A = this chain, B = another copy of it.
Amino acid sequence: MSVETIAWKQGKVTIVDQNALPGRLVFLDIRSTADLCRAIKSMKIRGAPALGAAAAFAVWLGIRNSKAKDYKALAIELKRLITLVGSSRPTARNLFWGLEKIEAALQRNRYCPVSEIKQALLQEALSLLEHDKSVSRKIGSFGQSLIKSGDRILTVCNAGALATIDYGTALGVIYAAKEKGKKVKVFACETRPMLQGARLTAWELRRHGIDVTLICDNMAATLMRQGKIDAVIVGADRIAANGDTANKIGTYSVAVLSTYHKVPFYVAAPSSTFDLCISSGEDIPIEERPREEVVSLFFKKPIAPEGIRVYNPAFDVTPQELITAIITEKGILRPPFSRNIAGKIKD
């Protein structure tokens, strides 16, 4: 049942090709930094927590066959790789956190021989996989306390097993609720333009035997008005020190709708998603993606006039005042977020 989104097997990185889902479950073997960066850019692997591990492995793939003779030469190569991988996608904080973890492992082992440093870097990348599995389950455990049996939960994009290593943040809360014997019903927003909700969330919830209904993004408000949504749970790509949360485009819209309809709005994310150097969401870099994602579905048949101008931000920022609570592996944070984030989350 359980699928690892990214794994290290027999000298290569194996990822689930998320652009092939839901049609086919395809594993891709990746052997170079460039190939893994391409997979990240094209969203074959995506989801903030998964990108933390992917970034670390992307660096490892570039460094493992390095001919560097000493720490200094290795460090120069590593810095170059970190810059390269860091330019693949800008918004998810976890990607940079994964790179920082690799760089810290280098620093810790600077007095070791090059072969041992390399081994330590691989161990660090591997430990990020185990770390994520454990963190996701803790988030699930804390988060499920917010869910009552019978709840109908709306989610956006995919913050599930496919966005992490094997369990999920927002969907991890749902899996944990199910493990506690609670019955939950999920409404998955399809999440245009890349349809992660339709393709990934619907797929993995069904695999886990969760009752799921697919809707277009513009139908969420109607369900809320009908009183059919008890809670919203979403993931996050970057959370500022004040709690402002960047997540997949459409999240902010759902947060405003939740506030208007008095539906609790929860964010579920590991502490690696927090960026304490950023005071508010205004400073979070928002990626703009290619227009082709909007004008044609999966780059196939056009669905809009040729040459039409498109605005295609990949993320938006939900201001902290619209967030009911943030579920982390260190516990559930509630307002005032600035104080409570500072108290619980450390870099």
Closest-CB distance, A53 to chain B (whole angstroms)? 26
Is A203 in contact with chain B by the CB < 8 A criterion? yes
A225 touches B202 (CB 8 A): no
Interface centre among A203, A219, A249, A294 (most CB of B within 10 A): A219
**Per-residue contact bits, chain A 181-213, to B (CB 8 Å; 1 contact, 0 not):** 000000101111101001100110010000111
Contact B304–A202 (Cβ < 8 Å): yes
Instruction: Name which residue of chain B comes closest to A217, CB basis.
Output: B218
Q: Are B221 and A256 in contact (CB under 8 A)?
A: yes
Distance of A250 Cα from B5 Cα, bound (Å) = 34
Are A192 and B190 closer than 8 Å at their CB atoms?
Answer: yes
By the criterion of a CB under 8 Å from any partner CB, how many residues of chain A are at the interface? 54
Contacts of A187 in B (CB 8 A): 311
A126 at the interface (CB under 8 A from B): no
On chain B, the residues within 8 Å of A302 by CB distance are 22-23
A73 within 8 A of B: no
Residue among A218, A220, A301 with the most chain B CB within 10 A?
Answer: A218
Q: List A residues 289-347 near B (Cβ within 8 Å).
A: 294-295, 297-298, 300-306, 308-313, 316
| A22 cross-chain contacts in B, Cβ below 8 A | 302, 304-306
Nearest residue, chain B, Cβ from A156: B218
Q: Main SS of the interface on chain A? A: mixed
Chain A positions 57 through 85: 1 when the CB is less than 8 Å from some CB of chain B, otherwise 0: 00000000000000000000000000000
A216 pairs with B213, CB closer than 8 A: no
Q: Is the beta-carbon distance between B311 and A223 smaller than 8 angstroms?
A: yes
Which chain B residue has the least Cβ–Cβ distance from A195?
B303
Interface string of A254-297 (1 = CB under 8 A from B): 00110110000000000000000000000000000000001101
Q: Name 22 interchain pairs, CB-CB below 8 A, sorted by A.
A: A190-B192, A195-B303, A198-B294, A198-B304, A198-B308, A202-B304, A213-B309, A215-B310, A215-B311, A216-B249, A218-B218, A219-B313, A221-B253, A221-B256, A225-B252, A225-B316, A256-B256, A256-B257, A256-B260, A257-B257, A297-B303, A300-B300
Query: Can you name 18 extra interface pairs (CB under 8 A) apart from A219-B249, A219-B250, A253-B253?
Result: A22-B302, A22-B305, A22-B306, A192-B217, A198-B303, A206-B308, A213-B308, A214-B294, A215-B310, A216-B249, A216-B250, A216-B312, A220-B253, A221-B253, A221-B256, A297-B301, A298-B303, A300-B300
Residues of A at the B interface (CB closer than 8 Å) are: 22-23, 187, 189-193, 195, 198-199, 202-203, 206, 211-223, 225, 249-250, 252-253, 256-257, 259-260, 294-295, 297-298, 300-306, 308-313, 316
